[in-house]
């Protein structure tokens, strides 16, 4: 066994920087649009985000604190996930600004809105894939002792999915062609994936 740095997170990591989100990385970005109770649009990125089920498709994002996206998702029962890509990386980042609940981050970041078909929150113009979602669960996280934490996991069923047809070749979605961006660790690291790093491996039969 090689020499390992071992730590118990509750007692501190003992390193210059917390390695946690650099280890569980790169993470896809949940670029989430919602509508607030007065009808205003809201948009923010969440890297505590993933796909959790195929049928029906269920995705989730976790809010560190009761942020506008979770409040709006709870109040309206809806959100939209927009795929964040390299051409919109800076705009995505701009939508993470801490601003008042009534500020429309689409406007803040100079992004256009496209109407959704089945839910009220708009889609980001220029994002090549969007999932229109209905909230299925909002789960408050707890510690192992059962103490409630100020973090909320918002789960939603994708009821409508939009895909830029340029990303579909012979019926197959081209992941790298979309140029998705993924969150690394530290205050500023991101990764972009490229087709030349692809390798294939089938599951044992
Ligand atoms: C790439 C990226 C990922 C982020 N991931 C999260 C996250 O998983 N959870 C969270 O609470 N905040 C996350 N943030 C910060 C939020 O985007 C930020 O607090 C934002 O203002 C929340 O907006 P809202 O209040 O409109 O929901 C992230 C920011 C960036 C740039």
The pLDDT, as a whole number, for residue 205 is 87
Low-confidence ranges of the chain (pLDDT < 50): none
Report the residue among 28, 46, 48 best suited for mutation to probe ligand 1: largest number of ligand atoms under 8 A from its CB.
46
Cα-to-centroid distance, 56 and ligand 1 (Å): 26
Task: Count Cβ neighbours within 10 Å for each residue of 74-88 and write b for 16 or more, e otherwise.
Answer: eebebbbbbbbbeeb
Q: What is the pLDDT of residue 185?
A: 94
Distance 96 CA to ligand 1 centre (A): 5
Q: Residue 118: which of 105, 131, 129, 137 has the closest Cα? A: 131
> For residue 44, how far is its CA from the centre of ligand 1 (angstroms)?
6
62 CA to centre of ligand 1 in angstroms:
9
Q: What is the pLDDT of residue 15?
A: 96
| Alpha-carbon gap, residue 9 to 101, rounded angstroms | 33
Decide: 127 and 166 in contact? Cβ < 8 Å: no
CA 55, distance to chain mean position in Å, is: 19
Q: How far is the CA of 180 from the centre of ligand 1 (A)?
A: 17
Cβ atoms < 10 Å from Cβ of 146: 6
The bridge status of strand 78-82 relative to strand 30-35 is: antiparallel
Q: Tell me the backbone φ, ψ of residue 16, rounded to 5 degrees.
A: -65, -35
Of 60, 96, 188, the one to substitute when testing ligand 1's pocket (max ligand atoms within 8 A of C-beta) is: 96
Are 127 and 84 in contact by the 8 Å Cβ rule? The answer is: yes
- Which residues lie with the beta carbon below 6 Å from any ligand 1 atom? 29, 42, 44-48, 62-64, 67-69, 93, 96, 98, 183
Determine which residue's CA is closest to atom 4 belonging to ligand 1: 46
Tell me the CA–centroid distance for residue 198 and ligand 1, in Å.
29
Give the residue, out of 27, 40, 47, with the most ligand 1 atoms within 8 A of its beta carbon, to mutate for a pocket test. 47
Distance in Å, CA 90 to ligand 1 centroid: 14
pLDDT computed for residue 101 by the predictor: 85
Q: 192: part of which helix (H) or strand (E)? A: strand 190-192
């Amino acid at each position: 066994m090689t020499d390992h740095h071992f730590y118990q997170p509750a007692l501190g990591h003992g390193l210059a920087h917390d390695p946690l989100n650099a280890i569980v990385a790169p993470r896809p970005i949940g670029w989430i649009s919602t509508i607030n109770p007065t009808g205003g649009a809201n948009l923010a990125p969440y890297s505590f985000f993933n796909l959790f089920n195929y049928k029906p498709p269920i995705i989730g994002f976790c809010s560190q604190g009761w942020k506008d996206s979770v409040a709006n998702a709870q109040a309206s029962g809806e959100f939209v996930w927009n795929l964040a890509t390299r051409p919109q990386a800076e705009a995505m980042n701009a939508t993470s600004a801490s601003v008042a609940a009534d500020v429309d981050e689409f406007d803040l970041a100079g992004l256009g809105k496209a109407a959704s078909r089945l839910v009220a929150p708009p889609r980001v113009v220029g994002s090549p894939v969007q999932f229109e979602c209905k909230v299925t669960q909002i789960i408050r996280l707890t510690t192992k002792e059962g103490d409630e934490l100020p973090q909320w996991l918002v789960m939603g069923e994708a009821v409508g999915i939009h895909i830029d047809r340029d990303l579909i070749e012979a019926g197959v979605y081209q992941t790298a062609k979309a140029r998705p961006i993924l969150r690394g660790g530290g205050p500023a690291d991101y990764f972009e994936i490229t087709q030349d790093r692809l390798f294939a491996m089938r599951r044992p039969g």
